[in-house]
Amino acid sequence: MLKIRPAQESDVDAIFDLIRGLAAYEKLSDRVTGNTELLRSHLFGERPYTEAIVAELGDLPIGFALFFPTYSTFLTQPGIHLEDVFVQPEYRRQGVGKALMNFVAQIAHSRGCGRLEWSVLEWNQNAIEFYQRFGATVLPDWKTCRMSAETLAEIAMKPQID
C-alpha cells in the first residue's frame, strides 16, 4: 500500500540515497557533494531551509519530493519551489509520482500559495510530458540562472559600491 507522508528525521539516510538515485538517473552523480548530516540540519535543524515528503510501499522508501517556500512580488503571494521529485525507476508508471505531486500541490494550496514552480531538464521528455499531463505549463521564455558558492564568495569579498 502506497503511503505519502511528511519526512521525519529518521528518513534522512533514505532520502539521501534517493537523491543519489536521482543524480545517477540525471547522469550527474559527480555533482552530489553534500552529505546526510547537512541534509539533516537543513531539513530538521534549528533553522530548516527545506521540507520533504516520502513515498513508501510498506516500510520501503521508493520516492521523495523536496521543496521550499518562495515569494512572488507580482502576485504578492507565497509560493513553493519544488527542487526535486524522484521515484525509483522500478516503481514508475504506478501513480507514485502523481501522488507526490498531488501532496505538494495540496500543501501549496493549504498555505495560500499563488504558484508551485520547478525546473525540468530539456532532455527529460518523459518528465516534461508527465508534468504537462499533470496540468503544468513548461515556460519557454524563462531560463534558470545560478551562482556557485565560489562566485558568491567572490562577490561577498568585493566592495558594495564601486
Task: With beta carbons less than 8 A apart as the criterion, state whether 51 and 6 touch.
Answer: yes
Would you please indicate which residues are annotated as catalytic (active-site) residues? 131
Spatial distance between the Cα atoms of 101 and 127, rounded to a whole number of angstroms: 12
d(CA 100, CA 146): 26
3-state SS of 94-146 is CCHHHHHHHHHHHHHHHCCCCEEEECCCCCCHHHHHHHHHHCCCCCCCCCCCC
Other beta carbons within 10 Å of 23: 16
